[in-house]
Amino acid sequence: MRLLAPALLLAATTAAAQVPNASYADAFEVRRARRDPVVSYVVRVDTTRPQSYEVAMTVRHAPAVTRLAFPRWAPGAYRIANFGGYAQGVAVTRDGKPVTLSIATDGTWLLAPEPAGETLVARWHVAFPTPAAAASPNNRNFLTARGGLFDGPLTFAFLPGLERLPAHVRFEVPVSWRLVTGLAPTGDPWTFYASSYDVLIDAPTLAGPADALRVWRFRVDDVPHAVAHWAQPGAAAFDSARFAAVADTIVRTARAIAGELPYREYAFLFVDGAGGGLEHLNSTTIGARAASLARDPASAASVTAHEFFHTWNVKRLRPRELGPFDYLREVRTPNLWWSEGVTDYFAEEVLRRSGLQDSAAAVAGLASSVASWLNNPAATRVSPERSSRTAWDVPAVNEGYAISYYLQGALLGELLELRLRDATGGRRGMDDVFRALYDRFAGATGFTAPDVERAASAACDCDLAPFFAAHVRDARPIDWDRWLGLAGWRLDTTRVTAADSAGRPLPDLRASVGTFAGIGSAGGAAGTRPKLSVQGPHTAWYRAGLRGGDEVVSVRGRPVDGPAAWTAALAGVRVGDTVVVEALRAGQPVRATVRLGDYQTLRVRLADLPTVTERQRRLRAVWLRGPTAAQ
C-alpha cells in the first residue's frame, strides 16, 4: 500500500457492463446521434465562502425543454429530501438570453416555452441550511476550508427526459486539493466523466489537501481499490496500514461470496465525522471518526462490509421497483428487507468468514439481534414487506409501531442460512440464493418478491412458501428454538426489570434523537432541529403523546439542539420522575409530560442444547467460516 498521486481517478460502470459486449456496437464508449444534447457541469468552490458552492450546467444542442429538476431523494436513502430546496439563485439562459423561471408544485423549475436552441446554461449555488451543516463532516455532504464531500443529488440538477445522456464534470477547487471519486477519469485531472445522470449522482467526490485527505490503495484480482480518509484538524493518529488492510480483507471475502468484482475500480470514502454510510455504484461514503480508529482500526468494519456488499445487492441486483430511477417521487418496494436487511446478514457473514469477528462475538451478536427483535412489539405486528413499503412514512402509518427492515432481513437471512445448510448437508446456503438471483436478475430486469422465495426454495430443493408467508409477508412469531436448534442452540431468555450495573431499576428512556448526518439523512443536517425517535406505543414517551419524527425544542426546560444536549438534559433522571418535552409536529407546538416508570426487558443468550450432534457442530462451523470449514 502506498500514498496515491494528487488525484485518484476512478471509473464508474453501469449494470449493463456485467455481461460481455453482445455486438461490435456495444464496444463504443458512447452511442449517440450527431445532434443529441451534450451535457457538462462545473463545480466551483470559493473557500472564503464555505457555506455554499457554485454549479453551472451547460447543455449544447439543447432541446425545447420545459423543466429543470433536482432529485427529491437519493438512491439508498429512502426518504424525501427535496434537494432542490438548497439551490439558490437559479438562473437559466438559452443562447445567452435569460429564460423566465417559475417553481412548480413538485419543486421543479418550469422554463418558459422556448424553441430549441444551441446552448442552454443553468447556474445555481448549493447552499447548506446552516453554517454548522456546512462545517460538520459527515458521510453525505459538507464543505470546509480543508475540503468537503460533494454529494450527487445535492449538487447536480437535470433536465427530465435527458437522464440517460452522458456528462462531463469539472471541479474548480484549490490547487492543493486532491479528489477521490467514482467518476471516470479524463485527460484533465480535474475533469471526470459519467455515462449517464444515474451514474453521475451515484458517484460522490471527496476533496481536500494531502494533509487532510490521505489515500491508500490495494488490488484484488488486479482491480484497483482505494481507501481514502478525510481527517479534521488535530485528528488522532491511527494504524493506517491495519485500517486499509481491513478493507482489503472485506473485499476479498465478499468477492468469494459473490463470485466476481463487477466494477473497474472502487473507492472507500471515509470521513472523520458522523457515523453511518451510504452505498454507491463503485464507491461508498462512511463516517469513521479518527478517535475511534485510534482505539481500533477495525471499528468501522461492520458498516464497511455492509456498504461494500451493496456493490452487488441493490446496486446491481435491485428490486424491480427501483429502476429505472424516478428521482421526482417516492419509489416503494416490499423488498428492502432483502436489499438492506439481507445485506446486513452478508456483512456479518463477511466478518465471520474473514476472521474479523471471532466465534464468541458472532454468537453474541446473533443473540443481541434476537433480543432486539423479541423486545420490540412491532416484530409481530409489522411484517418485513410492510416495513419495507412504509420506509418513507412516519410510524403512525403502522399505528406507532416501528421495526427496522435491517434487523428483520438480517435475522431472516440467518434463519434461511441455517435451514438451507441443514437441508443440504452444508452444501448450499444463502450464498447460493444470492448468486442465483444475481445471475438471473442483476442489471436491467430487477427481482420481485416471488423471485426471492423461488430462489431460496430451489437452493434447498424444499418448499419454503410457508416460511415466507409467515415471516416475510406476515409478522407471525418465530419459533427460535426450532430454527436455532438446527445448529445445536437454544434461546436462554430471562424477563427482568431493566437495571443498571448496581441493580437499580432504569427509567423508561426508550426514546432518542437522531444523530446529524448530512442533508438527506435520517438525522438531518447539523443546525436543524433534532428529530425524535420513539420505540413504540409500549413506551412512556408514546403514552405521553410524543411521536417519531417530532422535532425536539427542549427537554426539562433545556434547549435541545442535538444528541449531546438530549443526553445532558436527561442525565440523572430516575424512575418516578416526570420530564416535560416541548416539540414541533408539522410546525405546530407539542407539549408532553412524560412520567418515567421502570420497564421489563428480555435478556437473551444462545446456549448449547444438552446434546450437540456432530451434524450440528458441522453446521455451526459452516455458519462461522463458510462451506470449506466443514470439509
Instruction: Encode pLDDT of 131-155 as tens digits.
Output: 999 999 999 999 999 999 999 999 9
Q: How many whole angstroms separate alpha carbon 104 and alpha carbon 89?
A: 16
pTM greater than 0.85:
yes
Q: How far is CA 569 from CA 498, 530, 556, 572, in A?
A: 21, 14, 7, 9
Task: Give the pLDDT confidence score for residue 36 in this predicted structure.
Answer: 86
Q: What is the CATH number of domain 332-497+603-630?
A: 1.10.390.10
Average pLDDT estimate for 583-604: 97
> What gap in Å lies between CA 67 and CA 567, rounded to an integer?
45
Are the C-beta atoms of 277 and 269 separated by less than 8 Å? no
Residues 6+ apart with CB under 8 A from 260: none
Residue 14: pLDDT band (50, 70, 90) is very low
Count Cβ atoms below 10 Å from residue 227 Cβ, excluding itself: 25
* pLDDT at residue 142, rounded to an integer: 96
Q: Closest by alpha carbon to 420, among 317, 345, 510, 331?
A: 345
For the segment 422-431, the average pLDDT, to the nearest whole number, is 96
CA dihedral sign of residues 339, 345, 347, 349 = negative
**Residue 596's pLDDT band (cuts 50, 70, 90):** very high
Domain extents for the chain?
8-309, 332-497+603-630, 511-598
Contact between 405 and 384 under an 8 Å Cβ cutoff? The reply is: yes
Which grid coordinates belong to 370? 434476537
CATH number of 8-309: 2.60.40.3650
- Taking the C-alpha atoms of residue 545 and residue 533, their distance in angstroms, rounded to an integer, is 13
pLDDT for the residue numbered 623: 97
Say whether pLDDT at 629 is over 50. yes
Give the angle subtended at the CA of 97 by the CAs of 94 and 101, to the nearest 5°. Answer: 70
Residue 376 in contact with residue 369, Cβ under 8 Å? no
Query: Which three cell numbers, joined as nine digits, stand for 344?
Result: 446486513
Residue 222 contacts by C-beta under 8 Å, 6 or more apart in sequence? none
ω before 98 within 30° of 0 (cis)? no
| Mean pLDDT of the 605-615 span | 97
- Per-residue pLDDT tens over the stretch 184-237: 999 999 999 999 999 999 999 999 999 999 999 999 999 999 999 999 999 999
CA separation, residue 465 to residues 99, 383, 406, 452 (Å): 58, 15, 22, 11
Cis bond upstream, residue 324 (ω within 30): yes
Confidence of residue 18 (pLDDT cuts 50, 70, 90): very low
How high is the pLDDT of residue 9?
Answer: 31
Q: How far is CA 65 from CA 116, 171, 280, 462, in A?
A: 8, 26, 29, 54
CA distance 129 to 82: 12
Residue 5 has pLDDT above 50, yes or no: no
Q: Does domain 511-598 sit in CATH 2.30.42.10?
A: yes
C-alpha of 461 from chain center: 33
Tally of CA atoms within 13 A in the half-sphere of 390 that contains its CB: 18
How many whole angstroms separate alpha carbon 225 and alpha carbon 234?
27
Query: What are residue 103's phi and psi, to 5 degrees?
Result: -100, 130
Q: Is the dihedral of CA 476, 477, 482, 484 positive or negative?
A: positive
Predicted confidence at residue 24, as pLDDT, reads: 54
**Residue 3 pLDDT level (bands cut at 50, 70, 90):** very low
245 contacts 286 by C-beta, under 8 angstroms: no
Q: What is the pLDDT confidence band of residue 631, given thresholds at 50, 70 and 90? A: low
- Residue 324: per-residue pLDDT: 83
Look at the alpha carbons of 63, 65, 70, 73 in this order and tell me if their dihedral is positive or negative: negative
To the nearest whole percent, how much of the chain has pLDDT over 90?
86
pLDDT of residue 4: 34
Residue 16 — pLDDT band, cuts 50, 70, 90?
very low
| Cα 524 from chain centre | 14
Which cell is 404 given? 427496522
pLDDT over 80 (residue 25):
no
Give all strands (DSSP E) within 394-455, no chain letters. Answer: none
For residues 95 and 89, give the distance between their C-alpha atoms in angstroms, rounded to a whole number.
19
Backbone angles phi, psi at 387, to 5 degrees: -65, -30
* CA nearest to 35, candidates 120, 118, 96: 118
Q: Give the pLDDT band of residue 48 (cuts 50, 70, 90).
A: confident
